[in-house]
Structure 1
Amino acid sequence: MDRFTRNYSLLLGAILVAALFFWGQATTSDAGAGALDDVLTADAKLAGYPYQFRVRALRDGVAMISTPRSPDFPAYSFLQVIDPKLVGKAQDDPAMVAAQQALIDHQKRAMGLILAQPGVKSVAWELDVKWLADHGVHR
């Protein structure tokens, strides 16, 4: 084997090893997130809610959970998507207040279930822009 072929083979081997390492890291994180996501989908109360909270990632003990609300996208807007009867209602309307409380209760339940799992130190929330877009909402 000539010098060029040997060096080329070593370089390709190093790239392959690095790619496998990073793929393994991502798979481990996804596997942990998948197991946590199973906890959420197995919960009857959460399963009955129109929005399904999902664990997107688990890194260094922080579980990233999807949410339909954020400071940039208020719950008020999301609730009108899942319940058309709320369209046009004021934020202080009793039906809207009840819907907001139901969302808060479900989000807290999702967080509590995940925080109770081994290896989870905290929860971070990530706006679910894909779900919103799939339901015709564009921020």
Structure 2
Amino acid sequence: MDRFTRTYSLLLGAVLIAALFFWAKSTWKPEVWNLDEVLTSDAQLAGYPYQFRLRAFHDGVAVISTPRSPEFPAYSFLQVIHPKLAGKAQDDPEMIAAQQDLIDHQKRAMGLMLAQPGVKSVDWELDVQWLADHGIHR
């Protein structure tokens, strides 16, 4: 192997090793995994059709996925997880009960996170991937 090829190969190898290191560092998040385990192992949350997941944890703020937001109302989401609600008005008693059930599950997810050491607050992030997977495009 000539000198140029050897130097080029060493440089390319170093760049690849550095890229691999930074990729591994950015994906290695044991704190997030441990907090997410709190959500996924809770029996009450596990029984709900939508699984709340921890998306990120930074500076004491836990970011949890949610199927609703000001831009995407719960009304639309609930018709997906409860097909019997399709076409019902927002003030229908069954729709109101389903909305309250969603609120109760969100509060439980928030409470579980806030009970963990180091968690100071909770933010919510719309789960656009879940919505897209279920045919909902906002």
TM-score range (shorter-chain normalised) is: 0.7 to 0.9
Report the number of matched residues: 137
Q: Provide the secondary structure at the position in 1 that maps to 2:52.
A: coil
TM-score (norm. length: structure 1): 0.83
Aligned twin of 1:90: 89
- Distance between the aligned counterparts of 1:14 and 1:119, measured in 2? 36
Q: Which runs of 5+ in 2 are unaligned?
A: 1-5
Give the corresponding residue for 1:26. Answer: 26
How far apart are the structure 2 equivalents of 1:111 and 1:49?
A: 15
Normalising by structure 2, we get a TM-score of 0.84
Match of 2:45 in 1: 46
User: Percent of pairs identical after alignment?
Assistant: 71
Output one character per residue of 1:45-86: Cα deviation in whole Å (capped at 9) or x when no partner: 000000000001111111110000000000000000000110
Residue 121 of structure 2 corresponds to 122
What is the distance in 1 between the residues matched to 2:126 and 2:73?
10
Question: 4+ runs of 1 displaced by more than 3 Å?
Answer: 12-20, 22-25
- Consecutive unaligned residues of structure 1, counting only runs of 5 or more, are none
C-alpha displacement of 1:27: 3.9
Any idea what SS the aligned residue of 1:124 has? strand
Cα 1:138–1:14 shift into 2, 3 Å: closer
